[in-house]
Amino acid sequence: MGSNLSVTETQYIKNEVRRIIADRLDIEEARVTPNAHFVDDLGADSLGLVELVLAFEEAFDIDISDDEAERIRKVKDVFRYVDKAVAERSS
């Protein structure tokens, strides 16, 4: 992922992101794959997306700007963003 996080830290982020998405959208975690699109594949609406962003910010102690939030379309986008934000915070 191009960060200075350990494999364990990166895996923790992925697992936690999946758990948060499944919990907030009330879906099975197995549906939360890297290429899953929040609206088309996981059934998120605009309110659901806002709630997810807030949950990610709280869980990982990061800030996601409105511009960045609009760029998050797929689960892998969250993985990348959170991984980068946590790595930057840790350095």
CATH number at residue 68: 1.10.1200.10
Catalytic residue among 45, 66, 67, 77: 45
Query: Which of 2-6, 28-32, 41-45, 76-80 is the least confident region?
Result: 2-6
Local confidence band at 4 (pLDDT 50, 70, 90 cut-offs): confident
Three-class SS of residue 37? strand
Expressed as residue numbers, the domain containing 80 is: 7-90
- For residue 2, tell me if it sits in a domain: no
* Mean pLDDT lowest among 1-5, 24-28, 76-80: 1-5
Total domains in the fold of the chain: 1
Residue 1 lies in a domain: no
Rounded to whole angstroms, what are the CA distances from 21 to 17, 39, 73? 6, 12, 13
Q: Catalytic site residue 63?
A: no
